[in-house]
């Protein structure tokens, strides 16, 4: 059985649902923190649990290069390797192959690229991307796609979409044939093994593969992409190829134009967005899942998201500010530390600065979505 998606209530286009995966019941709409190399940068897993993060992302491209998916398989899968008992979503590796590799070579078969770490040559096909994601043991894997760059003319977006659709079919065929080769059932012992205990109630649920809608910024291509993917019958659908440099209004437009072509009874995921007000807006339009490096990356640069707007903690005016980072926030950082102290840590380039800033930003994002969920239920 694939994931279980139960819609509890709708308000306008927004939906409040519970998505049950092999490793967690995820309340949606949800924001998913990004854990690129099996780590949400600067935040240990027990703090993510304390923040009530139920699902985080891993990046297939990075984990394939280092430490390698076969090593992670031998360690019992990514959940056990990183001691993360809750749900994991992995991307297909496509986005990084395209964004980090100027020298890539795309053929019908797949993509040849060079490692950004040591320049070594590698090849990703839809089948290989599925093998890597199955070895990692993701709750949700993503179809291998070509992320169309922006701007792209119509012909280019058309060709790219056709490739992505053929790759989606190959991804699905391979994933369905091999998805039950689950690493956590093939290994015993080792630290982190307790991470499986919490999953006991979800036994019987299989890993899931989502299709990704592409088509550049063209309405008819987006529609065709969505319709063809829906024919293939995935348990969930993502809208990809956004946040690639297009103006914000266009992002919103493409999402609004694509959502009606995705089935209402399955989760819809917009990849790589956004600012706090954007994720609220997209949730109100009927998006169920979102992810973005913004809260974690901005935190490491001293940018805090608060109920009073964005705050640059490096600013001199905070040098003797005894107030919490965000007076409205009840996270473990805001309950305990002052703006003056966070500014000092940042100025002194202390590693703790990244930890505290990131914990607050993630708390703010997760709390924002909790409020959206409460709003759908309660008005
Ligand atoms: Zn806080």
Is 116 annotated in a binding site? The answer is no
The string over 151-163, giving b where at least 16 C-beta atoms fall within 10 Å of a residue's C-beta and e elsewhere, is ebeeeebbebbbb
**Residues labelled catalytic:** 91, 291
pLDDT at 101 over 90: no
Using the mean position of ligand 1's atoms as its centre, give its distance from the Cα of residue 82 in Å. Answer: 25
Is 277 annotated to bind a ligand? Reply is no
Q: How many CA atoms lie within 13 A of 130 on its CB side?
A: 25
199 DSSP 8-state letter: G
What does the pLDDT read at residue 199? 47
CA of 304 to the centre of ligand 1 (A): 9
Domains belonging to the chain, first-starting first, are 4-292 (3.20.20.105), 293-379 (no CATH)
Confirm whether residue 198 is marked as ligand binding.
Answer: no
The whole-number pLDDT of residue 99 equals 81
Question: What is the pLDDT at residue 329?
Answer: 98
| Residue 140 CA, distance from chain mean position | 10
Is the CB of residue 175 less than 8 Å from the CB of residue 268? no
Q: Are strands 105-106 and 111-114 parallel, antiparallel or unpaired?
A: antiparallel
Range 259-287 average pLDDT: 98
Q: Please count the CA atoms within 13 angstroms of the CA of 315 that sit on its side-chain side.
A: 11
Going from the Cα of 312 to the center of ligand 1, the distance in angstroms, rounded, reads 14
Q: What is the mean pLDDT of residues 354-360?
A: 98
Distance 327 CA to ligand 1 centre (A): 8
Q: What is the mean pLDDT of residues 339-357?
A: 98
> Cα(108) to centroid of ligand 1, in Å?
48
Could you give the CA distance from residue 350 to residue 319 in angstroms, rounded to a whole number? Answer: 16
CA-wise closest residue to 364 among 306, 323, 324: 306
CA of 374 to the centre of ligand 1 (A): 19
pLDDT digits (tens, 9 = 90+) for 285-339: 999 999 999 999 999 999 999 999 999 999 999 999 999 999 999 999 999 999 9
Is pLDDT of 367 > 60?
A: yes
Q: Is 331 annotated as a binding residue?
A: yes
**334 labeled part of a ligand binding site:** yes
Give the pLDDT confidence of 196-232 residue by residue, as tens digits. Answer: 544 445 778 999 999 999 999 999 999 999 999 999 9
The answer to the question of whether 201 is labelled as a binding residue is: no
- Tell whether 92 is in a known binding site: yes
Other residues' Cβ atoms within 10 Å of the Cβ of residue 354:
20
Is residue 91 annotated as involved in ligand binding?
A: yes
Q: How confident is the model at residue 104 (pLDDT cuts 50, 70, 90)?
A: confident
Q: Cα of 195 to ligand 1 centre, how many Å?
A: 27
Give 329 Cα–ligand 1 centroid separation in angstroms: 5
Mean pLDDT of the chain: 94
Task: Return phi, psi of residue 111, to 5°.
Answer: -125, 130
């Amino acid at each position: 059985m694939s994931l279980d998606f139960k819609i509890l209530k709708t308000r306008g286009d927004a939906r409040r649902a519970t998505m049950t995966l092999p490793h967690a019941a995820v309340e949606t709409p949800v924001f998913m923190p990004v854990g690129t190399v099996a780590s949400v940068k600067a935040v240990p897993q027990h703090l993510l649990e304390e923040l009530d993060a139920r699902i985080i992302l891993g990046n297939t491209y990075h984990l394939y290069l280092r430490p390698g998916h076969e090593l992670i398989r031998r360690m019992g899968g990514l959940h056990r390797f990183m001691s993360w008992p809750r749900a994991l979503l992995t991307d297909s590796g496509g986005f990084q192959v395209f964004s980090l590799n100027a020298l890539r070579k795309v053929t019908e078969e797949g993509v040849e690229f060079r490692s950004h770490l040591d320049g070594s040559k590698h090849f990703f096909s839809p089948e290989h991307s599925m093998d890597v994601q199955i070895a990692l043991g993701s709750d949700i894997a993503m179809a291998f796609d070509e992320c169309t760059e922006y701007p792209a003319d119509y012909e280019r977006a058309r060709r790219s979409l056709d490739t992505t659709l053929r790759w989606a079919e190959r991804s699905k065929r391979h994933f369905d044939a091999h998805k039950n080769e689950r690493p956590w059932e093939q290994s015993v012992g080792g630290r982190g093994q307790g991470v499986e205990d919490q999953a006991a109630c979800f036994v019987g649920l299989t890993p899931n593969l989502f299709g990704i809608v592409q088509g550049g910024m063209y309405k008819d291509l987006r529609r065709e992409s969505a319709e063809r993917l829906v024919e293939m019958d995935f348990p969930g659908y993502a809208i990809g190829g956004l946040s690639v440099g297009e103006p914000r209004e266009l992002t919103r437009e493409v999402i609004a134009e694509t959502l009606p072509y995705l089935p209402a009874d399955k989760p819809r995921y917009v990849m790589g967005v956004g600012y706090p007000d954007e994720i609220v807006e997209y949730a109100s339009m009927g998006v169920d899942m979102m992810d973005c490096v913004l809260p974690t990356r901005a935190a490491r640069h001293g940018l805090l998201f608060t109920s009073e707007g964005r705050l640059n903690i490096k600013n001199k005016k905070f040098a003797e500010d005894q107030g919490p980072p965000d007076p409205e926030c009840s996270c473990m950082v805001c309950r305990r530390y002052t703006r003056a102290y966070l500014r000092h840590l940042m100025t002194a380039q202390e590693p703790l600065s990244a930890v505290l800033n990131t914990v607050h930003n993630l708390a703010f994002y997760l709390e924002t979505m909790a409020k959206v969920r409460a709003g759908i239920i309660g008005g």
